[in-house]
Structure 1
Amino acid sequence: MTAEMLRAPAEVKYAAELDWLESVDGGPRPYSWRLSPRMVRLFVLGSRPADGLDRDVDQKWFGDPSLVERAIVTLASDRGLLLIGDPGTGKSWLAELLAAAISRDSTLVVQGTAGTTEDHIKYSWNVSMVIAKGQSRESMIPSPIMTAMERGVIGRFEELTRSTSDVQDALISILSEKYVSIPELDTDSIAFAKPGFSIIATANSRDRGVNELSSALKRRFNFIRIPVVTNKRSEADIVRFRTAELLRRHEIDLDVPPTLLDILLQSFADLRAASAAATSDDERLESALSTAEQIGVLEDAILHSRFFGDRALTAGTLAGSLVGSLARRSPEDLAILNKYWHGVVEPRSKSDGGLWPDFLEGGRQAIATLS
């Protein structure tokens, strides 16, 4: 089944694992939860020998375990959960994993944009059915959030701060009253939330000022800030895990040499340090330099090697993918990358050797091509 999906949701991708966890789960489960809080944590963070399980459960989200535990506790209460952080910190992935483990359905999602309306979080109407039979529950189209309410499961709201104040105000009512009024109907005019319903929202901390959350809406959420991964070992684990998934999806049998992964991690660390030390936006790359972007760079390099190279990933190809992915503004980003290549990569290639000279040359060629 997953082979027929470009990207399978977590509950489909890990269906066998979730089935097994549910079968051995003897812990107390809140309301309509499919797994106990302990098993939800284990599904997200992976198993340990102390758990005493008959099979290993892989870690799927890499970060502070206390953040995951607090998120699970929040969802067991009647408050919403808001995951906030920089782009690429894994907010949406954590939200998907939690919804998959708790409800076995992570697809009840509303994407917040400037075009999101109140209908997207409440309901709309099937116009042809309304004309033929009139307004009724049958002719109503419930939103993903309303569906989650009536089923008593987790609904998700991505990029909350990108939606307008009208949409945010409508969400206040849902989180407070736990029902949606349908004034168009004379009977059956209220959709009540069943026990187990909650909302996981995400917000980009760089979007402050787009549509600030009201104090009333903030009070309905427990905030969990997802920090940027700065630990090289943790970041390497994330990149390896997600890259392995991508390779399986593309049916590519290729090992990423540890030395190349080290070069990628070091380059991003250097560029982040330079961005932090910059005094103006013109001296900073437009890229957020997130872990997700590292994964994108590595995937690009692997696919380029597969289709147009000698099927072996090289430092030169990795450098070309890095430059191509991060050079979004011209000439500003190219100037920053050129400065980095001359000031950092060139001296390092002379002092450290190894694959750095190939990385240096590949980057130079990519910068020259784009200049």
Structure 2
Amino acid sequence: MSDTPLRAPAEVKYAEELDWLESVDDAPKPFSWRLSPKMVRLFILGSERADGLDREIPQKWFGDRSFVERSIVTLASDRGLLLIGDPGTGKSWLAELLAAAICRNSTLVVQGTAGTTEDQITYSWNVAQVIAQGQSRDALIPSPIMTAMERGVIGRFEELTRATSDVQDALISILSEKYVSIPELDGDSGEATVFAQPGFSIIATANSRDRGVNDLSSALKRRFNFVRVPVVTNKRTEAEIVRFRTAELLRRHRIEVEVPPTLLDILLQSFADLRAVSANAASDDERLESALSTAEQIGVLEDAVLHSQFFGEKELGAHTLAGSLVGSLARRSPEDLAILNKFWHGVIEPRSEGEQGGPWRDFLDGGREAIATLS
């Protein structure tokens, strides 16, 4: 059995690169950080000739430099960092890269859901050990957040607004007081309180489309610095993100493939047109359920490449790409299928006409077949 994980965390994937950056980093570092703020930024955004390094550091997150810099400055203070934005804007990936660069551990994560409980951000008990020996620190099971506090590293909280108000309230004490009380233990033993060590902070993410699910209280908002991660609108930047992330995902299958620029343009243009259709829709019934995010484009492209590799002619074609797009976006039946069918007739069909329509014609046929199969 292979020892290689299906998805290695950033600190493992880029371990050699982080080791090298740490070896040449002589700038001041906050707390117990492994890299200085400038090197953290360089690790995430990539190096430039002006940095004067002996090797090139590739860019891993594509976005405005100011968002990364403000995130780093926040984590160097005593405030939490909340990355908020639409689905698929790279919030979680940015949080993982920040934690990997700062403390070489991005895996102390709590996933916010309606079922997340307070003990998942504080502590719970080993019931069998408590029955046998009573309550003690040895029988206590620390949460990822408490572990981050004890080690003085970064803890992460994904989808904060999906957690209930009780769970959110438990974070207020952690972020403001920087300790967790354990009332079940004897206060005189010195074990009844866990204090956060220097370097501890929390990176949380929140989906801006989840407003109204579990809104953050004013008290909790004051403990976070907000960094709003916008939707990528620059076509060139979006193409770089899709190409970079798809290539990374395909390496898990030992597949190295160059996506033809024409097909990448078709994918980007189709998503841009679908976003315009959704923006102009009069009601939710006329919008696709999909968020039409960059992350979903990556999923469509990965699916199409794998399909062509396993069942096609090895080389990705417009016909297969169209089938993957329809299959990924048609989540409601018949609503989404009706929207895609109208889009294919009103937008894709005109693009397929004329001398420049070659790949668009294959894309048109592939989409029609997929819609007919799902209808």
TM, length-normalised to structure 2: 0.98
In 1, Cα distance between the equivalents of 2:358 and 2:91?
36
Q: Deviations over 1:157-183 (max 9, x none)?
A: 000001111111110000000000000
Give the fraction of aligned pairs with identical amino acids, expressed as a percent.
83
Superposition pairs of residues 184-223 of structure 1, within 5 angstroms = 184-186=184-186, 187=189, 188-223=191-226
In 2, Cα distance between the equivalents of 1:2 and 1:158?
29
Q: Does 1:368 align with 2:353?
A: no
Q: Indicate conservation of the 8 Å contact 1:316/1:361, yes or no.
A: yes
In 2, Cα distance between the equivalents of 1:252 and 1:14?
19
3-state DSSP class of the match of 2:89?
Answer: coil
3-state DSSP class of the match of 1:355?
Answer: helix
Q: Indicate conservation of the 8 Å contact 1:2/1:13, yes or no.
A: no
Superposition pairs of residues 307-326 of structure 1, within 5 angstroms = 307-326=310-329
The letter of the residue matching 2:40 is V
What stretches of structure 2 of length at least 5 have no aligned partner? none
The letter of the residue matching 2:78 is D
In 2, Cα distance between the equivalents of 1:82 and 1:255?
36
How many residues align structurally? 371
1:2 CA displacement = 9.2
The letter of the residue matching 2:335 is E
Considering only aligned residues, what root-mean-square deviation do their CA atoms show, in Å? 1.0
Q: Does 1:30 align with 2:33?
A: no
Q: Indicate conservation of the 8 Å contact 1:2/1:8, yes or no.
A: no
Q: Does 1:303 align with 2:322?
A: no
1:295 CA displacement = 0.3
1:3 CA displacement = 6.0
Structure 1 runs (4+) greater than 3 angstroms displaced: none
3-state DSSP class of the match of 1:300?
Answer: helix
Residue 262 of structure 1 is matched in structure 2 by: 265
Residue 14 of structure 2 is matched in structure 1 by: 14
The letter of the residue matching 1:362 is G
The letter of the residue matching 1:358 is D
3-state DSSP class of the match of 2:314?
Answer: coil
Superposition pairs of residues 88-127 of structure 1, within 5 angstroms = 88-127=88-127
Q: Deviations over 1:24-75 (max 9, x none)?
A: 0011000010000000000000000000000000000000110000000000
In 1, Cα distance between the equivalents of 2:76 and 2:184?
33
3-state DSSP class of the match of 1:353?
Answer: helix
Q: Deviations over 1:240-286 (max 9, x none)?
A: 10011122111113211010000000000000011001110011000
Q: Indicate conservation of the 8 Å contact 2:156/2:202, yes or no.
A: yes
The letter of the residue matching 1:29 is K
Superposition pairs of residues 342-357 of structure 1, within 5 angstroms = 342-351=345-354, 352-357=356-361
In 2, Cα distance between the equivalents of 1:148 and 1:222?
19
In 2, Cα distance between the equivalents of 1:3 and 1:368?
43
What stretches of structure 1 of length at least 5 have no aligned partner? none
In 2, Cα distance between the equivalents of 1:149 and 1:107?
14
3-state DSSP class of the match of 1:256?
Answer: coil
